[in-house]
Structure formats: C-alpha cells, structure tokens
Structure 1
Amino acid sequence: MKKIYLSLLIVFLFQACTSDMEEILQVGEVETSKVTTRQASDGEYDLLGFSYDITGDYLHVDNAKKMVVDIKSFIGDPNNKDRFYNPATIIANEDFYAGANVEEFLQEIKDKRVTGGSGGLKIGPLSLSGSAKVTKEKNERYSYSNKYSFARVDIIKRIKRLYLDVVDANDLIPYLSTAFINNLNKMTPEQFVEEYGTHVLLDISIGGRLQFNYRSVITETDNNIEKKKIVEAGAKTSIGIFGASGNGSHETTEVKNLNKKNSNWDVQISYHGGTNSGLNYSLTSTEGLTSIQFNKTQWEESVNDKNAALVDINWNKTFPIYEFISDVTKKQQIKKAVENYLEGKKLQTMNLIPMYTLYDMNVYDCLYTTNLKEYISYSTNNVAKNGACFYVHKTQEPNTIPIYRVYDSNGHNHIYLARGGEAELNQYLSWTQYEGIEGYVYSPYQTPPAGTIPIYAFYAEESINCILVMNEKEVPSYSEWCTYNGIAFYAYPQ
C-alpha cells in the first residue's frame, strides 16, 4: 500500500511543478501591432537640436520630445555656416546588452552607450527604466524582479550622421527656439521636465534599427555571470531563428547548449526605420519564432533618409537640458527637477529566489529549499527532482511572512510553517529541529498582490509528508489521498 502512495506522490509532485508553468506559458500568443511614431526623417535636420528623455526605451524616437535649438537659425548665422555636418555614412552592426537581472542589464546599456554628456548629472542604471519596460504584468516590481534575466539586441544600419561642431551649450543659447523659451517661462520646473525630458541631442545618427528585447527565467544556476551568458544565448538564438543575425553565432554548440537553460522566455521585436517601421511582434516560448519570416537584406535596402529612425547618440555631445538656460536661478530649478525626475523614474524591483522541490524516496521526505547547492547535492538515486516550483522573497518585504523550516528526525520529514507565525513554530520546536527561514511570502489572511498564486498545503499521512501544491485544478486529486490544510500562503509563479 505504501508503494502505491509513494508512486502517486512522485507523479503528483511532478505535476504540481509543471502544470502551473504550462498554464502560464499558454497565455502568450503572437501579437502584432503597427504604431505610428515620429520619424527622424525630415531629410534635413531630423532630430538634431531636439530634447530627449533618457528614462525612456533607449533610442526610441518618442523619447525625442521638442525642439530646443533652432538649427536653421544657428546655421543661418554666418559665423556658424561650417559648424553643421551631415555626412552619409552607411554602417551595419549589431549591439548586444545583457544582464543576469534588470539592474545589470540597464547598467550595461549605460556603460556601453550612455557615456559622457552628464554635465555633473548622476544617472543611475535604474533610471533608464524605459529600456526594460517591455512586459504587461500588472505588478511592475514583479516584472523587473531578479526572477528574470534580460537581453537586448539592436540590428542597425546607419545611413547618416548629423552633428553640430560645438563644445559648450552656451554657444547655442542665442539660437533657442521661441517655444522653448516661452515654455520655460510658463511652466513649472516639473511640468517643463515632464514635457521636454532630460537632455538635448547635438550629435545623432539615423538609419534602420531592428530591436529585440528578450527576457527569460533561469533556474539552473544562481551565478550572475552564468546567467548573463545564458540570456545572451537566448537573445542570439532569437535573432538567428528570426533571420536577422549576420554572424550565425546562434548555430554554435555553446550557444545551443546555453539556450536550453532559458525557460518561460518572451521576446518583443520592433522595427524602427525602413518600410516596416512601427511594426511590433510579441512572442513567447510557447509558439517559438518559426512562424515569422524576415528578409534582412530586403529590410536593410528599404531604409533611406526619408523613413529613417534614430540609431545612435553621441553622449559626449549630448548636454543636460538645463545647460541651455542662462538664468542662474531658473537653471538650478530645472536641474533639481531633472534630478527628481530621474529619481522618480527608477525601477522598483524585487529580490525573488526560486523554491526548488524534490522527493527523497530513500527516507520518504518532501524537500522544499531555496538553496540551490542543497538541491544539487542530492543524488538522483531514488530522488525525484522537480526543479523550481514558485518564487519567494529573499528578504522581508512589507506584508510578507517567513516560511519556517523544521525537521522531524524521527520521521525523516521536513515541515514548513508560514501562516501560523512564531506561535505555530514554537509548538513544533519541542519535537523538531529548527532549520531556518526559506524565504518570505504573503499571508492567506490578507489580499495578495497582483501576480501571486495560492500555494495549497496537504498532509500525506501514509508517507508522513508536507506537500505544497501550486495548481488549484490538482487540489481535488490530492484531496482523495491527503488531508487538505487550505492555502498555506501566496507566492510568485515559476
């Protein structure tokens, strides 16, 4: 009889971990949309002299806000006739950015691209929030939690560079647009920064840009260096299968093996410039990438200066917007407003860690642990390893409660306590060994945050085990041979 219960337990534990994941994956479908955006393609000055919001999705044309410098007026001055350049420079390249978590990802964008041009303005990586906002979860902190690893690839064809030969923003103050001056006087500092952004573009490149934003869940390692390699492999595989890569790096054995470690991935693909400009695709690991046919050569040939988009910014020639204000008092007010704006745009993240589960048939013990080394240390001999089943907070957050772990040495069983708090823990300490806190979750007695799922508790009397179930549909099946103890807590899904 015990063998029958044992077999059932192994099967149900595996289903408890996989069914919920499958349900989540099936939500994604191919989403295609066409949006209308301002193009950097007037054929003359394009976005040169425009203000720019650094907190938006990097290089997106909508980050270019309003004209600050009247380029025509500047060039019309005989003293400046040789200070505007617009050479045609056709260059193709691929830019990669990746990180084990969102902060490392944004830091890489900052380090590789947003260099110079700070004018004493401190820009933290989390202020580049728009470059990570490619998902649709209701809970933004969860969307950018370190459950996820991020990567981005820009496939670029540059056709023209436009820049002014200036080394000081003061040289351009006599040529500010009338609207800029009027709005500076009419608006509050906060309104002005919201309307104009943070910087002014004085050296830009335009052309075509195919942007891939890739996000995945990686549970086979907790090493950030390894995670970065894995998520990079996922991004390379995406652009390779899509047909956008020119170097074939996705075909290497190393990339193929690393890519297998990505799970629950999604990729957002967007065209900027060319005949398909404004077209977006949204794909997930469910449908894959094979349903889309992309002709890279045809797209590149379609890019010209009449349909071009922003593809590069020289930050050594990009000044904070307050540097264009001559009034000392007003300049300080706008500078403070910019600093506050950057602070307010910082991503709020979560420090989540996966809960791994296994069933040790040698001692009939269900183990749930957030310690990957402990999980790996179990041999596969009579041990059913089911991977990560859900995510918990690594440290205490508001409205969270700890998961206490105790061990019954007589029954060789681990027991997990949460909703009863320390009072329940103290009842167990008289006959069990305390092994610490596995993480922090949400009480079933309060309204849980968006994005969390209930974790159901069962007690298997035959095998003397505490079982946690993630899928509500499986509750009736477990109830046939286990004692149902209700919702133990709420956590984030795998």
Structure 2
Amino acid sequence: MKKQLFAIALMMVVASCKKTAEVPHVPVNKISSKVKMPAGVRSAGDGVWDVLGYGYDLTGEYAHSNSATYQIIDVAQMDLDHPTLVENSGAETGTDQLVYGYNAANYLHELSVKINATGGTDLLLKGTIDAHFTDTQKFSSKYIYGSYGKVAIKRRVYMPAPLLSLIKSYRTADFLNIVQNESAATIVAIYGTHLLTNVALGGKLELIYKAETSSSDRTSAANAGVQMKFLGIFNLNTTGTSYTSSQGSSNFNETAFVRTVGGNAGAAIIGTVTFNGSGTPSATYNTAAWSAGVTDANAEMIDIAPGSLIPIYDLIDDPTKKADVQNYITQYLATNNVTLTPDPVYEFYSPSLNNHALDLDINLPAAHPGWNYNAQPFKAFTSQVAGSVPVYQFLHTWDGSHVYTRNPYPGWSNYINDGVAFYAYATQVAGSVPAYEFYHAGGHNHFYSTNINASAPYAGWAYNGLPFYVMPN
C-alpha cells in the first residue's frame, strides 16, 4: 500500500494461453544401459580446445561447463586438415559481465539475448537460477534478479560456424551412431540442444543476486542491488551501468550466490551469502589468491559468442530424424521455460475508516496501525508477466476509500492515482478467474472477491462490475 494512501488516512483520523505438452528432461544417469554412451568425459578440459565442438543444453546455466555435454565434432582433426579455419587465440582480455531484470523471466530474457540463441523462446538458461537457489518461491514474480562477473579471458577457441557442411564432415562416430539408433529424447539427454562453436576460456568471479524490492523502478533496483552486493562481498568496484545507492536501498530479503569459474582450484570461492537489514553480508572474500592463479592451463568456458550456437538437429542428415529432434527440442525448451508464479494479495480493513484495501505485503499493519488483516482473496503478480496489465490503486481524497482499476485515467472526482497495486489480466487466460467488485454506497466502501455471491450475506452491498482477472488461491 502506498505511502500517500496512509498520509491521507491519518489526516482523516493473453489472449487465452495454450499449454504446451510437457517434455521431461531425461538425465544422463537415467538413460537405458543399452545405449552405448560416447567415449570420454561429459565436458572437456584438455587445455587446448576444451568444450569447443561439444554439445550444450540451453536449459542449463549460462556459459558454464556444467551445461556442456559430450563431444560432437572432432575439432583436433579439423584443425589438422584446416588450420586456418579453426582458431585458438591467446589474446588475453579482461571485461565485466552485468545482466539484471525486474523479475526472473526478464533476467533470463536478457541472458538469452546475450548469446542470441534460437529455439522458439527467449526465456532460456533456467538452470542459471535453478542450480543456485533452492527455495520453492525462487520463480515468484516478486523477486528481482541480477548477475555480475569479472572476467579474465585467456583465449578464444572457435570454428567456422557458417560452414555447416564442413563442420558436419567432422562429426564423431559416437554422435552419428547415437543419432541413427536412439530416440530424440535420448539424443537431447546426451548431447543437449546445441553445438558450441565459439567460446571464451579463462576465469570468472561471479555473483548471482536475488531480492525483493519496494521500489517502483524494479529494473534500476536490480541493477543497483547486484553491483552494490558485488562491491560489499568482494571489495571490488564495478564498471557496469551507472547506479546510485538510493536505487538499491529499497531492496530486502537479499541473497547472493558467489563462485569462481576456472583458475586455481585450491583458491576457489563458492557459497551463498545472505544480508542483514542493513545490507551487511554474512561473508566477504579476498580474491587475490584466486585471481593470481588464473592461467591458460586452468581456464574454463566463461562466455559464448552471440549467434554461434548451432542447433544439433542441423547436424542430422536424415530428414525424418532431423524433424523429430527439432520438434522435441522446441517442446523441450518450452517445457523447461521459466513460468513466474503469482503472489498472494491480502485484504485489510480499517474499522475507524470503515474501509477495505488490498496489498501484496502481509506485514502492512505493523507499519500502519489501524489496519487489520481481513482475508487473502486471490493471487496476482508483483511484477509484470506476459499478458498481464497494471492494476492501479485509486484513493478518495476525503474519505480514503480504495478502488482498483486497469484504467490509469478513469476521470473520477476526488480520486487520485496511488500507483500500481499489482498486475492482473484484462481478459480471462488459462487458470485465471474473475475478480468481482462490490460497493457499499452508504459507507462509500469497495471490496473484491472471486466469489460472485460474496456480498449476499451483507446488507447494503451490491455487485459493481468485473474489473480484472486474477489467479485463484
């Protein structure tokens, strides 16, 4: 509930959604023992080509060897035959990587855009969140996300991705055998969804940030929050998008996952950091020993060149099997896409004002005496999700009554727009239900319910319309 609302009170005393059929991921350790697995390790580390020519799963982590799979292309042989087309560049550079979003979906969209991946969705790389945050609410619309990394690139390894016919001529015997004899699900379980053709190797110091915020500018709050926490934990300045500390001051319930990638394993850093009410981290780290130990020999994949991933179905000759794998990958990526969960909307009542109000914060009465928890009528979204629209809270200037509407300019006398209360739907979508408005003329009071008969037991209340659609409890 907005500050303005209480200031006045104190002065007074998508189109319908289509659900995609679920395509479960088949873990490698669950594949039938009858399948002849590829030779070698599941991700490379030879100190030369590393994961170049290996598979990669776009539902996994962003540019991390955890999401690399098995070898598809014999890069060493390609280099022997075409030394000018396969590169192992040793030019060392340093850079920072900053990505942030106003919720998990927006954050993953920005990550997906960085590598310009294809697959029918731009909400890939769900494992970047899944692998590091275990709470069941991590995909709630209330959370902002960001990641910040200081990167030391030791070398880049790449092959000529546009020369698909040439690349296909170096497919491994294991890959060809598995493609010929196994199902689309098994092929994707073993090799992932895409081929790595251009990767950066080196070391990375990384922080992945999750928090709630009361700021109306959630994007700026995420940007400021992730950079402020990186500075606080590692005592290292950031060089990302400019921010002010005030932009991150409204963040709370903050958590960060920190780790090093590549470098001296004996000085590696990994852990989860929490923050107290003042923003002080539960742990800090000195990175000098690790950063001094990043060498060419212990470099790992830390980035993927934009547009360099090749879908593995483009490496399949048989048109029927290619279509099967392409269809499976499309459904697999859609099924493993991030779906934001709605948050409870709470109803509060002020006896002195004889007024109802809605808010996403259950602790509202602690900050505003006189308001009491009354119900939890439905769920909605803290941040905007696909197909949703803002629901604005309007406050009557002389009696404090609250009205919620999708129209930011309804033209009501003596009502002021007090900002976005939550996000809901203008029309009914899959899983949503109507939220009905009821009005008491004598008390100039409004309340909202998913039960069209909610006002029946109470005298003086009348149905007043269907302003928006919400998610049921």
Tell me if both proteins adopt one fold, taking TM over 0.5 as the criterion: yes
Q: CA–CA distance in 2 between the matches of 1:355 and 1:439?
A: 16
What is the letter of the counterpart of residue 184 of structure 1?
A: V
Q: How do 1:300-315 and structure 2 match up within 5 A? A: 300-315=291-306
What is the letter of the counterpart of residue 164 of structure 1?
A: M
State the match for 1:66 in structure 2: 70
Secondary structure at 1:143's aligned position in 2?
coil
State the match for 1:135 in structure 2: 133
State the match for 1:103 in structure 2: 105
Q: In 1, are the aligned partners of 2:345 and 2:358 still within 8 Å (CA)?
A: no
Is 2:188 aligned against 1:193? yes
Q: CA–CA distance in 2 between the matches of 1:243 and 1:375?
A: 44
Secondary structure at 2:454's aligned position in 1?
helix
Q: In 1, are the aligned partners of 2:203 and 2:299 still within 8 Å (CA)?
A: yes
Q: In 2, are the aligned partners of 1:50 and 1:65 still within 8 Å (CA)?
A: yes
Q: CA–CA distance in 2 between the matches of 1:172 and 1:157?
A: 29
State the match for 1:76 in structure 2: 80
What is the letter of the counterpart of residue 270 of structure 2?
A: N
Q: CA–CA distance in 2 between the matches of 1:422 and 1:84?
A: 67
Q: How do 1:167-246 and structure 2 match up within 5 A? A: 167-221=162-216, 226-243=217-234, 245-246=236-237
Query: Post-superposition shift, 1:247?
Result: 3.6
- Report the structure, 1 or 2, having the larger helix content: 1
Q: In 2, are the aligned partners of 1:203 and 1:314 still within 8 Å (CA)?
A: yes
State the match for 1:125 in structure 2: 122
What is the letter of the counterpart of residue 304 of structure 1?
A: T
Query: Post-superposition shift, 1:340?
Result: 2.2
> Are the structure 2 counterparts of residues 368 and 337 from structure 1 closer, same or farther at C-alpha, using a change threshold of 3 Å?
closer
> Are the structure 2 counterparts of residues 122 and 290 from structure 1 closer, same or farther at C-alpha, using a change threshold of 3 Å?
closer
Instruction: Give the one of 70, 73, 94 matched to 1:92.
Output: 94
> Are the structure 2 counterparts of residues 285 and 377 from structure 1 closer, same or farther at C-alpha, using a change threshold of 3 Å?
farther
Is 2:258 aligned against 1:266? no
Query: Post-superposition shift, 1:173?
Result: 2.2
Query: Post-superposition shift, 1:422?
Result: 2.7
Query: Post-superposition shift, 1:295?
Result: 2.6
Q: CA–CA distance in 2 between the matches of 1:96 and 1:358?
A: 43
Q: List per-residue Cα deviations over 1:390-432 (Å, max 9, x = no partner).
A: 98976878887766554445456655656xx333323336445
Q: In 2, are the aligned partners of 1:147 and 1:353 still within 8 Å (CA)?
A: no
Q: In 2, are the aligned partners of 1:403 and 1:439 still within 8 Å (CA)?
A: yes
Q: List per-residue Cα deviations over 1:442-494 (Å, max 9, x = no partner).
A: 5xxxxxxxxxxxxxxxxxxxxxxxxxxxxxxxxxxxxxxxxxxxxxxx6xxxx
Q: In 2, are the aligned partners of 1:352 and 1:393 still within 8 Å (CA)?
A: no
Secondary structure at 2:273's aligned position in 1?
strand
> Are the structure 2 counterparts of residues 39 and 321 from structure 1 closer, same or farther at C-alpha, using a change threshold of 3 Å?
closer
Q: CA–CA distance in 2 between the matches of 1:377 and 1:264?
A: 33
Q: CA–CA distance in 1 between the matches of 2:445 and 2:308?
A: 64
Query: Post-superposition shift, 1:39?
Result: 6.9
Query: Post-superposition shift, 1:440?
Result: 4.5
Q: In 2, are the aligned partners of 1:417 and 1:425 still within 8 Å (CA)?
A: no
Q: List per-residue Cα deviations over 1:24-82 (Å, max 9, x = no partner).
A: xxxxxxxxxxxxx97764212111111111121111211110000112222233xx133
Q: Which runs of 5+ in 2 are unaligned?
A: 1-9, 11-40, 361-389, 401-417
* TM-score between the two structures when normalised by the length of structure 2: 0.70
Q: CA–CA distance in 2 between the matches of 1:114 and 1:427?
A: 58
> Are the structure 2 counterparts of residues 87 and 266 from structure 1 closer, same or farther at C-alpha, using a change threshold of 3 Å?
same
* TM-score between the two structures when normalised by the length of structure 1: 0.67
Q: CA–CA distance in 1 between the matches of 2:463 and 2:333?
A: 49
Instruction: Give the one of 54, 58, 67 matched to 1:54.
Output: 58
State the match for 1:6 in structure 2: none
Query: Post-superposition shift, 1:176?
Result: 1.5
State the Cα RMSD in Å. 3.8
State the match for 1:114 in structure 2: 115
What is the letter of the counterpart of residue 46 of structure 2?
A: D
> Are the structure 2 counterparts of residues 327 and 291 from structure 1 closer, same or farther at C-alpha, using a change threshold of 3 Å?
same
Is 2:279 aligned against 1:284? no
What is the letter of the counterpart of residue 52 of structure 2?
A: L
Q: In 1, are the aligned partners of 2:105 and 2:339 still within 8 Å (CA)?
A: no
State the match for 1:45 in structure 2: 49
What is the letter of the counterpart of residue 330 of structure 1?
A: K
Q: Which runs of 5+ in 1 are unaligned?
A: 1-9, 11-36, 382-386, 443-489
Secondary structure at 2:155's aligned position in 1?
strand
Q: CA–CA distance in 1 between the matches of 2:93 and 2:249?
A: 33
State the match for 1:428 in structure 2: 458
> Are the structure 2 counterparts of residues 101 and 191 from structure 1 closer, same or farther at C-alpha, using a change threshold of 3 Å?
same
What is the letter of the counterpart of residue 271 of structure 1?
A: T
Q: CA–CA distance in 1 between the matches of 2:80 and 2:70?
A: 21
Secondary structure at 1:160's aligned position in 2?
strand
Q: CA–CA distance in 1 between the matches of 2:61 and 2:455?
A: 47
State the match for 1:330 in structure 2: 321
Query: Post-superposition shift, 1:166?
Result: 5.2
Query: Post-superposition shift, 1:97?
Result: 1.2
Q: CA–CA distance in 2 between the matches of 1:417 and 1:173?
A: 60
Aligned length: 384
Query: Post-superposition shift, 1:355?
Result: 4.6
